[in-house]
Structure 1
């Protein structure tokens, strides 16, 4: 497959290729969603973007499961998964760029059709940012998403893709709404800077958390299918997955702290 060739097994993910793939996916998925799934275009756009990215993700997961069997030192653990995390975060930024360009350039009626579900979710989340319980509410919501991502990864092997794509579309929609406030005054560059610093400061660690957890669930899923329990390779994979889950949880708490206590203070 063409998209599968973006990431070759046995090599670290190529960031530029993953960025390009992430940037292109929204345009391809939006086109087919608008033409073929008009009443459900907003949901179909996210689903089709995930479908485009799955081949590359499967290659990454298969490669990382093989490497996880051989990881014995913490340095190798951090070096290996650090490369993967950077690559997938770059793909996430590409998704944001693609969705944001779509959001800002489409006619209002088509924009509303393609981003209606994201707008609804944003309005629902806005209410969580008010009140003393905001931190716990956001943390509960984010850990629920994290749990869904892990379950999808365990059963289907690519649960992180859906989480990455959905959050890419969501962040792009929020940034687009924010940018529209600056367009009337001709301050697009200033609006872009503020929207990036406002939403990506907590958005990047939050999505990094979902990526790490999804990767941990995916390599564990493959290991369950390939190995008998209690083998040496099995326990190495379990150790790697557990470490990834712990790092993921810590990152998610860190992202919630930024979202609730730092971002409102800055803006």
Structure 2
């Protein structure tokens, strides 16, 4: 397929910044196709079309990482190799998020409300649940509990569907884009600032804790995907599988640590800054 041939896993690892533009392109194409073909359900179809364009790249990347588990003995060099994949996952996520943020801001209001209907509903539910919660330990516990649920789903989706975690990551990117866009729109409408500074403030406001969260989900998704590929390749109940499980366990522990840091930032640092 044309979109899938734009960039290969090898090129992505060598030049991860290219994934930013890939993410922006595929999400923009997804927006166009969703509004054109399925206007009534564009909010979810947009996400699915974006995921379709990501799956081949993600699957080949995860399969390559599983092979490295068998070839590289020491854990630190192996984690370094994994970090290169996480880097291009991150650039892909940022590209999708920035692209959808711009679409949300600059599309006519009725069209953007339709395109991001489910995302707006999700944010409304989150804000409703957060109403009255204090900034402190209880707030942190609620954030961490919810984020651990998402991380668990990433592992499960990746295990059963290989690159399945990309769906959750793309959905979260679309929700984050609407949150950033809403923040920017409010700043613009209140005449607090012009368009570009408002968008920059929105990105800063939500990326401070949003990016570490996404990195945690990516690491967990990579762990689940590696286990999935190992099972498919019949490495189950072998010495190699034990090594793969050990590597996946390290990845999951690292993802939990990153998630705790992201929760601390969201509960205490972000409210203090904004």
Establish whether TM, by shorter chain, passes 0.5: yes
1:63 corresponds to which residue? 64
By how many angstroms is 1:137 displaced?
A: 1.8
Cα deviation, residue 190, structure 1: 2.6
Which secondary structure state, in structure 2, belongs to the residue aligned with residue 69 of structure 1? Answer: helix
Q: Is contact 1:122–1:174 with CA below 8 Å preserved after alignment?
A: yes
1:189 aligns with 196
Residue 227 of structure 2 corresponds to which residue in structure 1? 220
From 144, 147, 164, give the equivalent of 1:159. Answer: 164
Aligned residue in 2 for 1:211? 218
The equivalent position to 1:236 in structure 2, one of 240, 243, 249, is 243
Contact 2:59 2:163 in 1 (8 A): yes
Pair 1:127–1:253, CA change in 2 (3 A): farther
Aligned positions of 1:71-90 closer than 5 A:
71-90=72-91
Change (3 A) 1:239 1:119: same
* Whole-Å separation in 2 of the counterparts to 1:249 and 1:108: 38
Which runs of 5 or more structure 1 residues have no equivalent in the other structure?
A: none
**Equivalent position of 2:106 in the other structure:** 105
Q: 1:34 to 1:265 in 2, by over 3 A?
A: same
Partners of 1:175 and 1:195 within 8 A in 2: yes
CA–CA distance in structure 1, aligned partners of residues 14 and 38 of structure 2: 32
Structure 1 runs of 4+ with >4 Å offset: none
Summarize the Cα distance change of 1:14–1:266 in structure 2 as closer, same or farther, 3 Å threshold: same
Residue number in structure 1 paired with 2:133: 131
Are the equivalent residues in 1 in contact too, given 2:12–2:19 (CA < 8 A)?
no
Counterpart in the other structure of 2:29: 28
Question: 1:79, CA displacement in angstroms?
Answer: 1.3
Partner in structure 1 of residue 270 of structure 2:
263
Indicate how the Cα distance of structure 1 residues 11 and 28 shifts in structure 2: closer, same or farther if over 3 A, else same.
closer
Cα shift at 1:141: 1.4
- How many residues end up aligned between the 2 structures? 267
1:147 to 126, 131, 152: 152
Give 1:42 deviation, angstroms. Answer: 0.5
Q: Could you tell me how far apart the structure 1 residues matched to 2:111 and 2:11 are?
A: 41
Deviations 1:123-143 (A, max 9, x none): 111134342432222222111
* RMSD over equivalenced CA pairs, Å: 1.8
Of the structure 1 ranges 192-201 and 48-57, higher mean CA displacement relative to structure 2 is found in 192-201
Q: Which runs of 5+ in 2 are unaligned?
A: none
